[in-house]
Structure 1
Amino acid sequence: MRSYTLHLPFECRPGEAHDLDRAQLVPDGFSGAAFAFSVLWFLYHRLWIAAGLVLAGLCATALIGYGLGLSPVSGTVITVLASLLIGMEASTLRRWTLARNGRPARDAVVAFNADEAEAKAMTRWLDPTRTPAIRPGATFVTGHAEAPVIGLFPVQGGR
């Protein structure tokens, strides 16, 4: 099963159906298409800044490898590793771009495929009695304001 995030504009309210045509579901996890097509995948999804950064990173990696005189085998290995990184982080960059453009993650669902995720997300969004899993501007409070806590533990120290 895969998790998906639902991205909607700030002005959309739970229970309203008229803005759902602008909704986008972003799958979490590795993207095989982004691994194989890197910059083209970003351009297809209209992620212009991310496409430019990925292209600049790949060009810089190639130039550094050429400048260091690396063998073609090591250059291929480095390119494959860079493509693996791109495939793993492509969804994160897509979520970042959507949030930057005023479409933050408003809900998250777990489903077997995109169709099931869309059905679940729309059903949950149209239910007026339910609040979304992810609220815009949500902060997480640990309960102890006097000392900073690192990690997911509610209090500082152990048992």
Structure 2
Amino acid sequence: MPVYTVHAPVTDNADFRATDRVTFVRDGFHAWAALFGVVWLAWHRLWLALVGWIVLMIVVDVGMVRLGVGVPAVFLVDALLALLLGFEAASVERWTLSRRNWRQLDIVVADDEEAAERRFFDRWTAKQRVPSNDQPAVDRGAPPPTRDIPGQAFSRPPPLPQDEIIGLFPEPGASR
């Protein structure tokens, strides 16, 4: 089953009105990105990745031709780079979203994008409806200090062990 990551722009108030901006990115191999890399990157408006892809392909092709590599080898390297783009297309899209200050909200496993949307929004609306406790959590840290009050045994801390070693270490003075 495909895995989708759910992304939304960072806003101060994420409520039901922000649902039209939520984006689902399918993880896995993107065949169209492998076959038509430049067109796929332009279609998804990944402009920086598009420029980087064009520069990479030009540098690799010109470098290999200047080194005297044959045409079949240049074609093989281009095909391998296209496969790499097909496998990493979702990562490039997620990277671009994070550069645009979007955050990842969730990960959804579903058969298709419509089922992923339904599953995500069912969970998200259920979280929105749960009444939350607005009291901030208080970190109380260590237990309160004890006082040495005569007659109260609980006010004295327990004595530290003098001859015992805690853990997997041997007894002091014992052979190894």
Task: Report the TM range for the smaller structure's normalisation.
Answer: 0.7 to 0.9
Q: Which residue of 2 aligns with 1:106?
A: 105
Partner deviation per Cα, 1:81-113 (whole Å, 9 max, x = no partner) = 000111111110100111111212111101111
Which of structures 1 and 2 has the larger relative contact order (alpha carbons within 8 angstroms, sep 6+)? 1
Aligned-pair CA distance for 1:128: 2.0
Counterpart in the other structure of 2:67: 68
Deviation at residue 38 of structure 1 after TM alignment: 0.7
Identify unmatched segments of 5+ residues in structure 2.
131-176
CA–CA distance in structure 1, aligned partners of residues 108 and 12 of structure 2: 18
Q: Which amino acid aligns with 2:11?
A: E
For each residue in 1:106-145, what CA deviation from the matched residue of structure 2 results, as whole angstroms up to 9, or x when unmatched? 11101111111111112122222699xxxxxxxxxxxxxx
Letter in 1 for 2:7: H
**Unaligned ranges ≥5, structure 1:** 132-159
Matches within 5 A, 1:29-44: 29-44=28-43
Residues 29-61 of structure 1 show CA distances to partners (whole Å, capped at 9, x for unaligned) of: 111111011121111111110110011111111
Larger Rg: 2
Paired letter, 1:97: T
What TM-score do the two structures reach when normalised by structure 2? 0.69
Partner of 1:50: 49
What residue is the counterpart of 1:25 in the other structure? 24
Q: Distance in 1 between matches of 2:129 and 2:86?
A: 34
Q: What is the TM-score when the length of structure 1 is the normalising length?
A: 0.76
Matching residue's letter, 1:45? H
Q: Which residue of 2 aligns with 1:4?
A: 4
Pair 107,24 (structure 1): closer, same or farther in 2 beyond 3 Å: same
C-alpha RMSD over aligned residues: 1.8
**After superposition, what is the alpha-carbon deviation per residue over 1:4-27, rounded to whole angstroms, capped at 9, x for unaligned?**
01101122656x221110110000
Amino acid at match of 2:119: K
Identity of aligned residues (%): 32
Displacement of 1:72 after TM fit?
1.4
